[in-house]
Structure 1
Amino acid sequence: MIKWNTIGKVACGFLIGTAGVKVLSSKDAKKCYTHLTAAAYRCKDTVMETYTSIKENCQDIDADAKAINEERYAKEREQEIADAKAVLERSQAESANA
């Protein structure tokens, strides 16, 4: 038994598909695709500018943070040296008094 309903659906799909190809390849459709592609490129350019700006800011923050840490470590080393000299002077003074 032939299912005419199924054959009708297949034929209708074929006709719609053929008409769809014609519509999608028309001059107006191509013009629309061109404008959409141009908009996508503009969007990409904007995103890349934002990315570059954020990247530069992050690099500046990183450099400043490293400089702050280097200064802090230098101060800590100076304090350790000063503490060691104070301990040494105290021990020398105690040994001289003894």
Structure 2
Amino acid sequence: MKKLGLFAAGVLFGTAGIKLLGSKDAKKVYAHTTAAALRAKEGVMKTVTAVREGAEDVYADAKAINECRAEAEAAAVVEDASAEESKAE
């Protein structure tokens, strides 16, 4: 009898819970919670975009530095070769 009473209480509690979760008030809470989550997502996406743009700028600067360095090294090699040819003559 005790098990049957517990089962009936569980069914009653579950049914009341489903009705409570499906009520207009609960739907309003869900809507407000979802709206807050969407606002948070927008904020995160703005931050991600700003970080991404900053990273692209850093990457472009790094590429330019490496290109200048490679040009300087190539010019130094050419100067060294020219100097050696002048000494050989």
State TM-score, norm by structure 1: 0.87
Which letter maps to 1:8? G
Percent of residue pairs bearing the same amino acid type: 48
Match of 2:50 among 44, 50, 53: 53
What residue is the counterpart of 2:74 in the other structure?
77
What residue is the counterpart of 1:14 in the other structure?
11
Rounded Cα–Cα distance in structure 1 between residues aligned with 2:84 and 2:4: 100
Work out whether 1:87 is the aligned partner of 2:75: no
After the TM superposition, which residues 31-42 of structure 1 pair with which residues of structure 2 at under 5 Å, given as runs? 31-42=28-39
State TM-score, norm by structure 2: 0.95
3-state DSSP of counterpart to 1:55 = helix
Rounded Cα–Cα distance in structure 1 between residues aligned with 2:50 and 2:63: 20
What RMSD, in angstroms, separates the aligned Cα atoms of the two structures? 0.9
Which letter maps to 1:68? I
Work out whether 1:23 is the aligned partner of 2:20: yes
1:22 CA drift (Å): 1.0
Rounded Cα–Cα distance in structure 2 between residues aligned with 1:19 and 1:34: 21
What runs of 5+ residues in structure 2 fail to find an aligned partner? Answer: none
What residue is the counterpart of 2:2 in the other structure?
5
State the aligned residue count: 89
Per-residue Cα deviation, 1:49-88 (whole angstroms, up to 9, x for no partner): 0010000000000000000000000000000000011111
